[in-house]
Amino acid sequence: NINMLTLKICFVCFLSTAQKWMYGGLDSNVILQYLAWVTYPVVLISFSAGFTHIVAPQAAGSGIPEMKTILRGVVLKEYLTLKTFVAKVVGLTCALGSGLPLGKEGPFVHIASLCAALLCKFMSFFGGIYENESRNTEMLAAACAVGVGCCFAAPIGGVLFSIEVTSTFFAVRNYWRGFFAATFSAFIFRVLAVWNRDEETITALFKTRFRLDFPFDLQELPAFAVIGIASGFGGALFVYLNRLIVQFMRKQKTINKFLMKKRLLYPALVTLLISTLSFPPGFGQFMAGQLTQKETLVSFFDNRTWTKQGMTEDFNYDSHSAAWKHPQANVFVILVIFIVMKFWMSALATTLPVPCGAFMPVFVIGAAFGRLVGESMAAWFPEGINTDGIIYPIVPGGYAVVGAAALSGAVTHTVSTAVIVFELTGQISHILPIMIAVILANAVAQSLQPSIYDSIIRIKKLPYLPELGWGHHEKYNIRVEDIMVRDVRYITLNSTYRDLHEILLIGNLKTVALVESAESMILLGSIERAQLQALLTQHLSRERRLEFIRDRADAERKRVSVVSTPSSEEGGQKVNHEVRFQISTEESSFTPARPISPKPLKPALKRTSTAEKNIEIPTSPHDSGIGLKNLLCARPQTDAMEIEEWEEQQLDEQVNFNSWKIDPAPFQLVERTSLHKTHTIFSLLGLDHAYVTSIGRLIGVVSLRELRKAIEGSMTVKGVKVRPPLASFRDSGTSGTSSESEATELHKLWDRHTSISIPREHQPNTSDSDEKSQ
């Protein structure tokens, strides 16, 4: 059901033909031609950047890094809103239409996920919220598959690509759903082409017509392997270049300041540069500047050889391939220029703040590189390599396919580009060369650079958990106790509402631990912030205050005129209330006398004019007091002092836990859990945080942040927190086997056992609180 919505995005690419039409209509004057050629993309990109910036800045970029983070379990709500959806669709349409080397697979993934998320929200009006929430992630995972699948009409490759790109651990049952959704979307995407009479029946998007009998010679395999290895280096270089550009733009403060002022200037300048260079009568004639990405690909995948006989004849009826023919330069020079120019152009263009992906440009560059190798091979062996029997000439188009799969695989660190290529070309005959090249490219690229998406995650500083590297054995020696935060926010069973309020003001974790008491620290469960807020709001709500005032009025009336008989049989509860607050105006004897904290509730009493409805429960730390603010704004204009007093009293009441919804089994780790195991558990279960308990007592909490710091920190040893004395001690002590360290642990355990005969005394707690007071 989620794939229907993504279909409307398939209509977005009309705009690039408009540019050609304008360009073609003005062939009398070169300057006018140039202006038309350049103005069009600059306007489109500027509009796209501006629109995205105004409506939803989150829509800029690929979207796959964000989806990876979201599927990891981190909530990035602003990335899945209707606003983002609109910004992404409009921005992507304009960006693609501009003719810059930008891709659409990342934005498509994001758009499909947005559809899924919005659909989920929409469906939750009908079904139970609970049910849908648990399905949300599964829907998103399927949506990612749909995004890629409908972008390339490649259902299988789409599912695999989305799995590789977004997941660390994958549930096989989601896989089935992904296939279902992706097949459906690819089907409809291609059926539209048939219905539009563009094609006779459903075929591949970039259909190739390579020889089936003898697709390639076995002796060509080394050439394919070379493509793979070179693509691996190229892919790593691309990721590096892309990151370098972003970091350069950030560091250069003078440029940066200037660009910050005129937000649209940077995109416009980049677009101007790129489109000037690709202006067909200018430098563009050496790099086939007049072709769109799709036309370029079609010409690369062509199964005729360009270097050999019959060049002009063949090119006459195929306008796309004619672009590669130049009177002065031969094909090799043009291909090299194309590759070099497109390489930095793509790396630069993908840094623009518009919705765009890097897959398609890289794919094209890879195809160009493959074509280059293929043409060289064809020039080298004009009669083919096979010596005995029939002559099978070399097919450079096959090399182009291999190169495209290898380079895009290297940049994204995926193997499934091979499958995408099969589905894209409709031919699987080159399966072995493609697989070999893709695997080699991956092996090289993965050892040099992170994938483009991981690189963006690092640049954007998204809360993602990095992979544990290979062979970093020191990481196995870090334990949870070394990285956990010992100063945990918690509430106890006899907390007052004031404690709640203070916790809400300070903490920033999404859940708060519930312990039995501050002395025992036995972890009973965890409560969501939202719950706490709702509870507090309800306790200080207008209704309760009005009731209180009414009650007091009644009591006042009663006290003044004792004669009147209390005939309140209806509203027995009110009588109770009356009595309570009659007393509470005097010295409080009802609630246990607690030392009222001298600190006034400053943020709660600050009157703000935010009258907007807060239907969504706020989660960021900044608006933690908003529940209070709201109710204070909404109250009738009575005596502020009196109400403040009432609130103070209310805050000192003990929390009534009966209506709470707590998680009775939050995830617990033991202090000796290794970093490796913690990482696995966090990745597997998609945890945001876990409590660390020692024999039932809460002693710390580990969140993604600490874990990330520990993983990154252990490579570049810095800071005491990451590697405390204990860890280094273990390092020095256990240069030998791991059993030794276990024995050391046991020693400690043994010592403890003998020294502390009664394990349940409160001594360890005092040391805990000491640490807390640091």
Question: Hey, which residues between 364 and 403 contact its own copies (CB under 8 A)?
Answer: 386, 389
Dist CA 660 CA 532 (whole Å): 8
Binders of its own copies in range 571-630 (CB under 8 A): none
Q: Three-class SS of residue 346? A: helix
Residues whose CB is less than 8 angstroms from the CB of residue 361 and which lie 6 or more positions away in sequence, other chains included = 101, 102, 103, 293, 342, 345, 346, 349, 350
Site string (654-673) toward its own copies, x via CB under 8 A? ---xxxxxx-xx--xxx-xx
Exactly one of 82, 260, 428, 634 binds its own copies (CB under 8 A); that residue is: 428
CA 361 to chain CA mean position, Å: 21
Check binding of 7 to its own copies (CB under 8 A).
Answer: no
Phi (first) and psi of residue 761, to 5 degrees: -80, 170
CB atoms within 10 A of CB 609: 7
Exactly one of 603, 696, 713, 764 binds its own copies (CB under 8 A); that residue is: 696
DSSP state of 654: B
Exactly one of 281, 282, 382, 426 binds its own copies (CB under 8 A); that residue is: 426
Check binding of 487 to its own copies (CB under 8 A).
Answer: no
Phi (first) and psi of residue 513, to 5 degrees: -80, 145
Exactly one of 121, 135, 209, 574 binds its own copies (CB under 8 A); that residue is: 209
CB atoms within 10 A of CB 727: 19
Dist CA 535 CA 52 (whole Å): 38
Binders of its own copies in range 730-749 (CB under 8 A): 738-739, 742-743, 745-747, 749
Exactly one of 4, 76, 171, 249 binds its own copies (CB under 8 A); that residue is: 171
Binders of its own copies in range 92-121 (CB under 8 A): none
Binders of its own copies in range 434-453 (CB under 8 A): 435-436, 439, 442
Exactly one of 419, 420, 491, 532 binds its own copies (CB under 8 A); that residue is: 419
Q: How far is the CB of 673 from its own copies (least distance, A)?
A: 4
Phi (first) and psi of residue 388, to 5 degrees: -95, 125
Q: How far is the CB of 734 from its own copies (least distance, A)?
A: 13
Check binding of 653 to its own copies (CB under 8 A).
Answer: no
Can you tell me which residue has the tokens 């070179």? 230
Residues whose CB is less than 8 angstroms from the CB of residue 435 and which lie 6 or more positions away in sequence, other chains included = 415, 418
Exactly one of 124, 136, 167, 541 binds its own copies (CB under 8 A); that residue is: 167
Check binding of 415 to its own copies (CB under 8 A).
Answer: yes
Exactly one of 14, 21, 122, 214 binds its own copies (CB under 8 A); that residue is: 214
Dist CA 639 CA 687 (whole Å): 47
Q: How far is the CB of 213 from its own copies (least distance, A)?
A: 8
| Backbone CA torsion sign across 565, 569, 570, 571 | positive
Exactly one of 40, 85, 179, 238 binds its own copies (CB under 8 A); that residue is: 179
Question: What is the DSSP pairing of strand 511-515 with strand 490-492?
Answer: parallel
Dist CA 216 CA 427 (whole Å): 13
Indicate the residue among 263 and 672 with the shorter CB distance to its own copies.
672
Segment contacting its own copies (CB under 8 A): 135-143, 357-365, 713-721, 752-760? 752-760
CA 227 to chain CA mean position, Å: 31
Record the tokens describing residue 719, joined without a space: 């800071």
Q: How far is the CB of 744 from its own copies (least distance, A)?
A: 9
Residues whose CB is less than 8 angstroms from the CB of residue 283 and which lie 6 or more positions away in sequence, other chains included = 277, 289
Record the tokens describing residue 583, joined without a space: 């007393």
Residues whose CB is less than 8 angstroms from the CB of residue 565 and which lie 6 or more positions away in sequence, other chains included = none
Indicate the residue among 499 and 578 with the shorter CB distance to its own copies.
499
Exactly one of 207, 460, 472, 559 binds its own copies (CB under 8 A); that residue is: 207
Indicate the residue among 494 and 610 with the shorter CB distance to its own copies.
494
Indicate the residue among 21 and 590 with the shorter CB distance to its own copies.
590
Check binding of 694 to its own copies (CB under 8 A).
Answer: yes
Burial class for 678, CB neighbours closer than 10 Å (0-12, 13-18, 19+): buried
Segment contacting its own copies (CB under 8 A): 118-126, 331-339, 374-382, 432-440? 432-440
Check binding of 702 to its own copies (CB under 8 A).
Answer: no
